[in-house]
């Protein structure tokens, strides 16, 4: 029996599904220009056209400047394959707390909802104020991708919606206080989409052409209906039925062939500069841990060739320590060639630089920054022109990026193990282990287990050097790790394995990050035989080293604070809302050169009216040595 099962029974049912007839509008190239970003009317704070969000410069909850803050949709750069721009809004079977909806069932249930704030469709104000009419050709467009990836089952990303699931778009009739159907689709697979027209995302454009909507309180919303696969094994039944949408855009003077933007953008999130790890301890770092090169993809969403300028920065907490200008290069429109610009930075000088400034006893955090600009002039949307990766050298190893797109599990047999291997450059002291357990149907994942640490012989776990007391999984929210403090420190050297051992023979599901592949470090065991994993991804198990792990911590650790930063872009103030103000140590604002231009203790408002326009990095440090980073655009 295969010891590597995912929690999603959906994986067993991944198959091609035909596109629902009449659900999509496929349009050829055009070239309208997006001339300004959304803004709010000062007297009543309603949004005026254009409305646009490509979800590229923030993560977590939808931005409060455009969307209502309830509904379960989460913004991320992890679940989509080759999106139009970095970042998507993902719909799935989880609520705002990252838990399966309480009424989840195998038939159908109302899952996530993404609802816009009120939009002024009665008037426009640029270049001058006038009444907006049906004849002004108002359209809403967006890109859609079903979850679940494509290709071999063990390489897919997330879980596809089944054919009985659906995604809906509705418009609000304020006069009658009712939501009306505007568009919908049944579930389908990315394989079928690729087979249909070789695109990873379907472009959809919908006219807003009824008089009832042309008022000062127009709203729209997306909703998905999900269903769980039929199974008697509840622990297999977790997050599923995923949809990704991108680049939601409403404006007037559009046309049905409007499918391009004067926009250069990054396609994927930035990645670690390390070969194997997403993060690693400072004292274990050596220059040979750095990858040979770092690649990013840039897309041209226009209908004409654009000259691109790509730059690469590394900043530490105070200033810029590395810069590389890759010069100019022409990039043809994606709509014509379906090609990207693949940038590649040689990291050999970076490896030498980091090895000279990272010391064993000092934690270090670096900002790895990528920027792209049009060579002559600017494109019409700067929010997707910068991507930032926070490179941590602290006290833990992580193969994963902190986001579970899937689940991998300990086989449902007594005394079975799921193990992950880690390599050290010098002897160290293991004091805690962080694990993320997925949310499952009826909390079926809450079964007892043991944590074990193994020494190694011939590349395989040999003897158990530590075995915990009986433990219980906790799922406290989406992607929130639990920290298990070891009852005694364990000295480890060279290579060791950490395993989760099932006690009762029940299946246990652990978060599985499919954007980083450490599958060759995952082993499973039933009886006396260790078996190599064949799934592509990283199990969300992290070893923690040093005395600091036991200071001021209970047996579990939760994400201490959430932040909401708005508006963005901004012209006068940046507002900061947080769930835990007392946890904040410092708020700092850096320019693109890494220079600190503002610092304070916690404040809920920063006046930026006297700062130069451009891109800034807002860093919020907490008393748990965590750094939250936001890209701020000052217009």
- Mean pLDDT over 212-233 rounds to 88
What pLDDT score was predicted for residue 237? 55
> Environment class of residue 324 by beta-carbon count within 10 Å: exposed (0-12), middle (13-18) or buried (19+)?
middle
What are the DSSP calls for 401-441, one per residue? -S--SEEEEE-SSTT-EEEEEEE-SS-EEEEEEEE-BPP-G
- Percentages (nearest 5) of helix, strand, coil residues in the chain: 10, 45, 50
User: Rounded to whole angstroms, what are the CA distances from 540 to 299, 398, 445, 518?
Assistant: 31, 8, 15, 10
pLDDT of 278 over the 90 cut: yes
What pLDDT score was predicted for residue 277? 97
Domain ranges of the chain: 17-251, 263-394, 406-550, 560-635
pLDDT tens column, 133-176: 999 999 999 999 999 988 887 778 888 999 889 999 999 999 99
What pLDDT score was predicted for residue 39? 43
Pick from 153-162, 254-263, 326-335, 624-633: least confident? 624-633
Pick from 220-229, 363-372, 611-620: least confident? 611-620
Tell me the pLDDT of the chain averaged across its residues: 85
Q: Which of 633, 563, 635 is nearest to 592 (CA)?
A: 633
pTM: 0.81
What pLDDT score was predicted for residue 28? 25
Give the pLDDT band of residue 38 (cuts 50, 70, 90). very low
What pLDDT score was predicted for residue 375? 77
**Residue 27 contacts residue 37 (beta carbons within 8 Å):** no
CA pair distance 124, 132, nearest whole angstrom = 6
Give the pLDDT band of residue 548 (cuts 50, 70, 90). very low
Pairing status of strand 280-281 against strand 386-394: parallel
pLDDT of 3 over the 50 cut: no
What pLDDT score was predicted for residue 27? 24
CA pair distance 438, 444, nearest whole angstrom = 10
What pLDDT score was predicted for residue 440? 78
pLDDT of 343 over the 80 cut: yes
What pLDDT score was predicted for residue 604? 83
What pLDDT score was predicted for residue 590? 84
pLDDT of 601 over the 90 cut: no
pLDDT tens column, 84-93: 999 999 999 9
**Residue 249 contacts residue 141 (beta carbons within 8 Å):** yes
CATH topology of domain 560-635: Immunoglobulin-like (2.60.40)
Give the pLDDT band of residue 527 (cuts 50, 70, 90). confident
N residues, the chain = 635
**Residue 231 contacts residue 348 (beta carbons within 8 Å):** no
Give Cα 70 to chain centroid, integer Å: 18
Terminal-to-terminal C-alpha distance of the chain: 59
CATH of 263-394, one of 2.40.160.60, 3.90.1150.10, 3.40.50.300, 2.60.40.10: 2.60.40.10
Give the pLDDT band of residue 505 (cuts 50, 70, 90). low
Pairing status of strand 74-76 against strand 220-226: unpaired
- Mean pLDDT over 488-504 rounds to 91
Are 17-251 and 263-394 the same fold in CATH? Answer: no
Give the pLDDT band of residue 413 (cuts 50, 70, 90). confident
- Mean pLDDT over 121-135 rounds to 92
Q: Say which residue, 404 or 557, is predicted with more confidence.
A: 404
**Residue 82 contacts residue 193 (beta carbons within 8 Å):** no
pLDDT tens column, 281-303: 999 999 999 999 999 999 999 99
- Mean pLDDT over 189-217 rounds to 94
Give the pLDDT band of residue 236 (cuts 50, 70, 90). low
pLDDT of 624 over the 70 cut: no
- Mean pLDDT over 464-475 rounds to 91
Question: Does 3.40.50.720 match the CATH number of domain 17-251?
Answer: no
What pLDDT score was predicted for residue 238? 67
Q: Say which residue, 399 or 20, is predicted with more confidence.
A: 399
Pick from 33-47, 54-68, 363-377: least confident? 33-47
Give the pLDDT band of residue 441 (cuts 50, 70, 90). confident
- Mean pLDDT over 376-394 rounds to 89
Q: Which CATH architecture has domain 406-550?
A: Sandwich (2.60)
What are the DSSP calls for 164-218, one per residue? T-EEEEEEEETTTTEEEEEEEEE---HHHHHHHHS-SSEEEEEE---GGG-STTB
- Mean pLDDT over 432-444 rounds to 84
- Mean pLDDT over 572-576 rounds to 87
pLDDT of 361 over the 80 cut: no
């Amino acid at each position: 029996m295969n010891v590597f099962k995912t929690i999603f029974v959906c994986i067993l049912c991944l198959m091609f599904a035909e596109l629902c007839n009449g659900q999509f509008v496929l349009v050829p190239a055009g070239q309208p220009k997006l001339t300004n970003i959304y803004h709010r009317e000062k007297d009543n704070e309603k949004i005026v056209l254009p409305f646009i969000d490509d979800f590229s410069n923030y993560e977590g909850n939808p931005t409060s400047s455009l969307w209502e803050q309830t509904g379960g949709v989460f913004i991320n750069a992890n679940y989509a394959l080759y999106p139009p721009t970095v970042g998507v809004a993902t719909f799935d079977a989880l609520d705002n707390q990252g838990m399966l909806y309480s009424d989840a069932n195998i038939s159908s249930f109302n899952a996530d909802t993404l609802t816009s704030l009120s939009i002024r469709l009665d008037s426009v104000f640029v270049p001058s104020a006038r009444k907006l009419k049906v004849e002004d050709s108002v359209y809403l467009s967006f890109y859609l991708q079903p979850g679940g990836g494509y290709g071999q089952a063990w390489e897919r990303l997330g879980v596809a919606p089944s054919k009985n699931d659906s995604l809906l778009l509705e418009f609000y009739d304020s006069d009658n206080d009712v939501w009306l159907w505007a568009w919908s689709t049944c579930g389908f697979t990315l394989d079928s989409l690729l087979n249909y027209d070789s695109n990873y995302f379907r472009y959809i454009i919908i006219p807003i052409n009824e008089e009832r909507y042309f008022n000062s309180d127009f709203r729209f919303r997306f909703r998905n209906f999900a269903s769980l696969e039929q199974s008697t094994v509840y622990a297999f039944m977790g997050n599923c039925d995923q949809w990704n949408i991108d680049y939601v855009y409403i404006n007037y003077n559009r046309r049905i062939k409007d499918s391009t933007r004067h926009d250069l953008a990054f396609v994927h999130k930035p990645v670690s500069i390390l070969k194997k790890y997403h993060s690693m301890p400072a004292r274990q770092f050596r220059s040979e841990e750095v990858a040979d090169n770092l690649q990013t993809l840039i897309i041209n969403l226009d209908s004409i060739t654009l000259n691109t300028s790509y730059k690469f920065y590394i900043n530490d907490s105070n200033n810029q320590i590395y810069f590389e200008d890759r010069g100019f290069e022409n990039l043809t429109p994606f709509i014509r060639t379906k090609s990207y610009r693949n940038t590649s930075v040689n990291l050999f000088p970076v490896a030498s630089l980091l090895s000279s400034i990272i010391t064993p006893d000092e934690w270090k955090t670096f900002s790895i920054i990528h920027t792209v600009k049009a060579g002559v002039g600017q494109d019409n949307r700067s929010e997707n022109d910068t991507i930032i990766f926070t490179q941590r050298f602290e006290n833990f190893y992580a193969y994963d990026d902190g986001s579970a797109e899937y689940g991998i599990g300990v086989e449902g047999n007594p005394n079975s193990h799921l193990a992950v291997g880690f390599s050290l450059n010098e002897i160290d002291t293991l004091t805690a282990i962080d694990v993320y357990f997925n949310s499952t149907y009826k909390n079926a994942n809450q079964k007892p287990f043991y944590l074990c640490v193994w020494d190694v012989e011939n590349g395989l776990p040999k003897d158990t050097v530590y075995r915990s007391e009986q433990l219980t999984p906790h799922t406290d929210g989406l992607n929130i790790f639990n920290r298990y403090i070891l009852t005694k420190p364990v000295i480890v050297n060279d290579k060791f394995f950490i395993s989760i051992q099932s006690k009762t023979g029940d299946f246990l599901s652990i978060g599985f990050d499919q954007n980083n592949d450490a599958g060759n470090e995952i082993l499973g065991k039933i009886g006396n035989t260790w078996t190599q994993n064949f799934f592509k991804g990283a199990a969300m198990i992290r070893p923690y080293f040093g005395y600091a792990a036991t200071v001021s911590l209970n047996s579990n650790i939760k994400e201490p604070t959430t932040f909401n930063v708005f508006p963005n872009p901004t012209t006068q103030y940046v507002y900061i809302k947080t769930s835990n103000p007392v946890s904040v140590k410092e708020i700092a604002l850096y320019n693109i050169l890494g220079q600190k231009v503002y610092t304070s203790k916690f404040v809920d408002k920063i006046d930026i009216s006297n700062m130069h326009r451009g891109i800034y990095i807002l860093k919020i440090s907490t008393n748990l040595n965590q750094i939250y980073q936001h890209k701020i655009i000052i217009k």
